[in-house]
Every structure is written in structure tokens, then in C-alpha cells.
Amino acid sequence: MKNLNSVVAIGPQALPGLAEMLRQRAVSQIFVVVDSNTARHCYPVLEPYLPAHTLIEIPAGEEYKTLATCETVWSQLTEKSADRFAVVVNLGGGVVTDLGGFCAATYKRGIRFVQVPTTLLAQVDASVGGKTGVDFQGFKNQIGVFQEPAGVFIDPQFLQTLDNRQLKSGYAEVVKHWLIADAPAFDTQRHEGVLVEDWSLIIRDSVATKQQIVEADPLESGLRKVLNFGHTVGHALESYLLLQPGREILHGEAVAAGMICESWLSVQKGLLSETELDRIETFLFSVFEKVQFVTMETDAIAQLALQDKKNSGTTINCTLLNGIGKAVYDQPVTLAEIAESLRYYHRL
């Protein structure tokens, strides 16, 4: 599944690089997948760099990251007689890059796609690493495949289209990369927070961290699981609130809460010190607002962790911290421990 011709371009030359790739390769048709937001704010920036193409617009929002939306994409590919030399360009955040990549990877057993991520979350995480997929029955990324894109083209200028909440959501994944693999960056960068004038270097370093891990374990059989720090509890919390109209939260907000819960679990397992936990909590709460839920909901939220993709049978496998900057994967935790971590977070 590893595409050895895959390229990652970051910076002002990213979009010209995409244009050059499309000129050099045998391409029968180009399809651009956007959502209603990126169609308005980002597509006008990308359009001048593209040859003739077909625009496929989907609704914006995690609630549309479904097989039903995939059917509309597949239908338009079919109606336009897209063959296996077609290329799909996914222009958007994590929903668009995940869903568009999945549609391309499964259409006619796989056609090429490229990612043009427009949110910080997608630029440092969702568009890199070859994971594609959609949510199913309320569970995050329940249906999907591993498939590397032909290229990832990251232009930080798209971040100017984001509001502060969306920007911070992506920042959670940057912090995650520091906590699992780069203690010095956590020590220095946390004093700056999201008050960043030029995101290019942070994006480049974050992508490099993820690429190094993914290249060592493309199909998540071992080391790549460290990238799921904060996600066992975070995905359960996100999935639970996604099913509560009006209470939905962004992915990064859930991951930030999950990182606090899983850092607390790391302390309980004797892996992380109380001092390190305090540093993590203090920093995350300086950036992210507390996710709201009530104590009586913790057991129901914890139950959703049984659907986590890292589990082995009924054993919930979690990624924990063996000190800041070092993650350990396949750490078994119980439903009771997850619920207790949520209660701990609720008390903070």
C-alpha cells in the first residue's frame, strides 16, 4: 500500500508543485472534492493551478462523513465515466481528505488521489499517513482502508480561512506529536501556544514526526499505534457527543481532553509523574476550553471505547506516556479505568 512515488510539498510552492505533478503524469480526468466551506473559501485559490476538471461538492461537517456521502461521490465519478487513470484532488479538512481518499481508494479498486489539506488538523495529521475512511453508526472512522495518496500539497495560506476554534483543533495534534516523540519541542513551543505568525516550520516538523513513524509501520501493526495517544478516550467522547444534537465538539477538542485523561491513566500505571501530568494539564487548559459532560455520562462514554480499532477482542489497548516525549502502545485499560479518567477530567 505504500506509494513510493508519493510526495509531500509544504509552503508557497505546494500548489505549483501540484500543477506540475498533474502535467507530468498520465491523467485522463481530474475530479476536485470540496465541501461547502472550501468551495467558497479555498477553491478559488486552487483553481488557477488546475487543468480542466470536475468539481464534486459535499456538505460540510463531521455528520456528513458517511457512506451516504460516499455514494454521491461515487455516483458522480460513474456518471462522468471516470476510469483508472483519473485523479481525485481532495481540497479540505479531515472530513474531505478522509472521505475523498476513501472514495478514490475504493472506486474501481482504487484510483489515484492527492490531498490539499486546508485546516491545521488535516495539514499535520489527517492528510498524511495513508489512512482513509468514514464514520459508521456513530463510530469514528469505522469503515476505511490504508492507501497512500500520490501526493500531499500543504499551503499554510489556507489557515487564514480558519476561525480560532478550528485552528486550535488542529493544534491538538501538533501537541500530541510533541508529547509522544519530541519533549524538547513541548518544553519550548508550549510557551508560544497558538500565537504563531508563521506555521510553516511547525507544520514541517509535525509532518516529519508523523512520516517517520508511519514509514516504520505503514499498517499500524505496532509502532504507529503511538499516534493514537489521546484518541482512545478522545474518540469515545467525540462519538458520544456527536450523537447529542447541539453538543458536538471538534476532533481536536476531544483529543485534547483525551490526552489529559490518558496522561492521568499513565500516572496510575506508574509511567508518568504527577509533575509531568500537571505540566500537560496546565498547558492544554491554557489553549482549550473544558469539554462539558456530566458525571452520570462517563460510563456511557467509556462504553464506546469498546469499538476502538486498537483493541484486541474485549481488551481495550491504549497508548500511554512513559514520560513526556515517549509513548508506549498496547497498554491494556479497563472500562472502569476509562470512566474514572473521565471523572478525573470532569473534576478539574
53 labelled catalytic:
no
Catalytic annotation, pick one of 220, 262, 276, 337 = 220
340 labelled catalytic:
no
Q: Where are the alpha helices (DSSP H) in 182-311?
A: 183-189, 200-216, 231-242, 251-268, 274-287, 298-303
Amino acid symbol at 320:
L
Closest CA to 175 of 260, 284, 273: 284
- Per-residue cell: 310: 486498537
131 labelled catalytic:
yes
228 labelled catalytic:
yes
Catalytic annotation, pick one of 65, 131, 176, 225 = 131
- Per-residue cell: 272: 508518568
210 labelled catalytic:
yes
Catalytic annotation, pick one of 140, 177, 251, 310 = 251
Catalytic annotation, pick one of 168, 210, 225, 310 = 210
235 labelled catalytic:
yes
Closest CA to 159 of 209, 185, 121: 121
Catalytic annotation, pick one of 228, 238, 337, 340 = 228
The C-alpha atoms of residue 274 and residue 266 are separated, in whole angstroms, by: 10
**Count of Cβ atoms closer than 10 Å to residue 177 Cβ:** 24
Catalytic annotation, pick one of 109, 164, 191, 274 = 109
| Cα Rg of the chain, angstroms | 20
> What are the b/e assignments for 31-66, b being 16+ CB within 10 Å?
bbbbbebbbeebbebbeebbeebbbbbbebebebbe
- Per-residue cell: 228: 493514537
- Whether the CB-CB separation of 114 and 17 falls below 8 Å is answered with no
204 labelled catalytic:
no
25 labelled catalytic:
no
- Whether the CB-CB separation of 268 and 337 falls below 8 Å is answered with yes
Catalytic annotation, pick one of 112, 168, 176, 224 = 224
Q: Which long-range contacts (CB under 8 A, 24 or more apart) does 237-246 make?
A: 237/291, 237/293, 237/301, 237/342, 238/140, 239/138, 239/139, 239/140, 239/304, 239/307, 240/293, 240/297, 240/300, 240/301, 240/304, 241/291, 241/293, 242/62, 242/63, 242/135, 242/138, 243/138
The C-alpha atoms of residue 272 and residue 211 are separated, in whole angstroms, by: 26
Catalytic annotation, pick one of 235, 262, 276, 337 = 235
Catalytic annotation, pick one of 65, 177, 231, 310 = 231
Question: Which are the catalytic amino acids?
Answer: 109, 131, 173, 210, 220, 224, 228, 231, 235, 251
